[in-house]
Chain A
Amino acid sequence: GAVVSQHPSWVICKSGTSVKIECRSLDFQATTMFWYRQFPKQSLMLMATSNEGSKATYEQGVEKDKFLINHASLTLSTLTVTSAHPEDSSFYICSARVFGRESTDTQYFGPGTRLTVL
């Protein structure tokens, strides 16, 4: 099946620094990847849609200058949290979209990255 990896699985950083999270589709190409944020005991909230070779589409309320997304290849999307602050601490999850039969599409999720900003 389609496998999506994320690196790192967890990261601790100091306030004011930037952190890059990678999302890779291991055995397929993904023109579209999605970035979600999940707070403890809450649902996944879509942050942005990442399209290979073009600018990401951000959801309302998500600062594009703070959460930089780059989708330079069909197997890699990166999320950079710039000038991180404690309130950015969260679980970040990516997914990659695969088209299947009957014009359906399925999102395959990565394992997530736990970010803690001190």
Chain B
Amino acid sequence: AQRVTQPEKLLSVFKGAPVELKCNYSYSGSPELFWYVQYSRQRLQLLLRHISRESIKGFTADLNKGETSFHLKKPFAQEEDSAMYYCALSGFNGGATNKLIFGTGTLLAVQP
């Protein structure tokens, strides 16, 4: 079964501290993994995807197929990083259309 697990509902850190938001997945094929972010009162938006191998707003995420993980990391948290973060997996709907399966989300709160 396709599943995305984010074990932490809330992660609270101080400004300048390192951040790691955990994401594990279950998928039988070759997955495409994403991190989406939702700032307060804003729409959900794509933060990064594993195939791009980019660093966006200082965040990086590496796909570890052995551990089936796609953890989101940032070395120094900023207050403006406070938001809800969703890990998502792209699976196939009978081979016809990709659909996203979301984790339950982690609320990151960066304290001053």
Contact = CB atoms under 8 A, between A and B. Distances in A.
Interface stretch (A15-23, A40-48, A71-79): A40-48
A106 B46 contact: yes
Interface of A: 32, 34, 42-46, 49, 51, 57, 93, 95, 97, 102, 104-112
Contacts of A112: 43
B86 A49 contact: no
Interface in B39-53: 42-46, 49, 51
Could you tell me the dominant secondary structure of chain A's interface residues? strand
Q: Which of A44, A108, A109 has the most CB of B within 10 A?
A: A44
B44 A51 contact: no
B97 A57 contact: yes
A110 B93 CA distance: 22
Contacts of B104: 42-43
A32 B33 CA distance: 19
Given A57-B93, A102-B51, A104-B49, A46 B43 contact: no
Contact of A109 (B45, B93, B101): B45
